[in-house]
Structure 1
Amino acid sequence: MSLALRCLTAAALALGSWLPDSATAAPPAASPSTVASASALGRGVNFGNMLDAPREGAWGLSLSDEFIAKAWAAGFRSVRLPVRWSNHAAATAPYAIEPAFMARVSSAVDALLAQGFTVVLNMHHYRQLDGDALDEGDLAVPEAEVDARFLQLWAQIAPRFAHHGPRLLLELYNEPHGRLNGEPWNRLAEQALAIVRRSHPTRPVIIGPTHWNNASDLPLLKLPPDRNLIVTVHNYAPFNFTHQGAAWIQPPLPLGLHCCDQAQRAELDAPLAAAQAWAAARGLPVYLGEFGAIGLADEASRVAFTRAMRDAAEARGMSWAYWEMAADFGVYDPKAKAFRARLLDALMGPR
Structure 2
Amino acid sequence: MKTMQWLWPLRVATMGAVMVAGCGGGAAGTAPATPVPDIASYPPVANNAAPGASARAVAAAASIGRGVNFGNMLEAPTEGAWGISVTDDFIDKAWAAGFRSVRLPVRWSNHASAEAPYTIDAAFMARVESVVDKLLAKGFVVVLNMHHYRQLDGDALDSGELAVASAALDVRFVMLWEQIAARFQTRSEQLLLELYNEPHGRLNGEPWNVLAARALGVVRKSNPQRVVVIGPTHWNNASDLAQLKMPNDANLIATVHNYEPFDFTHQGAEWISPPKPTGVTCCSSGQLSAMTLPLDTASAWSARTRYPVFVGEFGAYSKADEASRIRFNRAMRTAMEARGMSWTYWEFASGFGVYDPVALSFKQALLDSLLGS
Contact 2:48 2:247 in 1 (8 A): no
**Superposed counterparts of 1:110-125, under 5 Å:** 110-125=133-148
- Tell me what 2:203 maps to: 180
Q: Which residue of 2 aligns with 1:272?
A: 295
Q: Distance in 1 between matches of 2:41 and 2:55?
A: 28
Three-state SS of the structure 1 residue aligned to 2:51 is coil
Tell me the distance in 1 between the aligned counterparts of 2:333 and 2:161. 34
Gaps of 5+ in 2: 1-39
Q: Residues 30 and 4 of structure 1: is their aligned pair in 2 closer, same or farther, counting only changes over 3 Å? A: farther
In the aligned structure 2, how far is the partner of 1:289 from the partner of 1:282? 19
Answering whether residue 215 of structure 2 is matched by residue 192 of structure 1, we say yes
The one of 302, 327, 337 equivalent to 2:360 is 337
AA in 2 matched with 1:248: W
Q: Contact 1:4/1:190 (CA < 8 Å) preserved in 2?
A: no
Q: Separation in 1 of the partners of 2:322 and 2:358?
A: 17
1:54 is aligned to 2:64? no
Alpha-carbon deviation of 1:251?
1.0
Deviation at 1:138, TM superposition (A): 0.2
Mapped partners of 1:265, 1:212: distance in 2: 21
**Cα distance per residue 1:146-184 (max 9 Å; x no partner):** 111111100110000000001000000000000000000
Q: How many angstroms does 1:5 deviate by?
A: 5.8
Match runs of 1:1-351 below 5 Å: 23-25=47-49, 27-350=50-373
Take 1:83 and 1:71, find their aligned partners in 2: how far apart are those partners? 18
Q: Distance in 1 between matches of 2:303 and 2:346?
A: 25
Contact 1:43-1:76 at 8 Å conserved across structures: yes
Tell me the alpha carbon deviations over residues 119-138 of structure 1, each in whole angstroms, 9 at most, x when there is no partner.
00000000000000100000
Indicate the SS of the match to 2:248: coil
Q: Give identity over the alignment, percent.
A: 65
TM-score normalized by the length of structure 1: 0.94
Name the CA shift for 1:253/1:323 in 2 (closer, same or farther; >3 Å): same
Q: Residue 311 of structure 2 contacts residue 343 of structure 2 at CA under 8 Å; is this kept in 1?
A: yes
Determine the C-alpha separation between the residues in 1 that align with 2:342 and 2:122: 33
Q: Distance in 1 between matches of 2:337 and 2:41?
A: 39
Contact 1:215 1:234 in 2 (8 A): yes
Query: Could you give the per-residue CA deviations for residues 17-59 of structure 1, whole angstroms, max 9, x where no partner exists?
Result: xxxxxx533x111111110111001000000000000000000
Please tell me whether the aligned partners of residues 132 and 178 of structure 1 are also in contact (alpha carbons under 8 angstroms): yes
State the distance in 2 between where 1:256 and 1:221 align: 36
Aligned to 1:19: none
- Per-residue Cα deviation, 1:206-248 (whole angstroms, up to 9, x for no partner): 0000000000101110111000010000000000100011111
Q: Distance in 2 between matches of 1:3 and 1:112?
A: 34
Q: What's the TM-score once normalised by structure 2's chain length?
A: 0.88
Are the counterparts in 1 of residues 48 and 248 from structure 2 also a CA contact under 8 Å? no
Q: Quote the Cα distance in structure 2 between the aligned partners of 1:108 and 1:265.
A: 37
Letter in 2 for 1:100: A
- Shift of the alpha carbon at 1:4? 5.2
RMSD: 1.2
Deviating beyond 3 angstroms after TM superposition, the runs of 4 or more aligned structure 1 residues are 2-6
Report the number of matched residues.
334
CA gap 1:5/1:89 in 2 versus in 1, 3 angstroms: closer
Letter in 1 for 2:171: A
2-side partners of 1:91 and 1:83: how far apart? Answer: 17
Structure 1 residue identity aligned to 2:297: A
Cα distance change, pair 4–153 in 1 and its aligned pair in 2 (3 A): closer
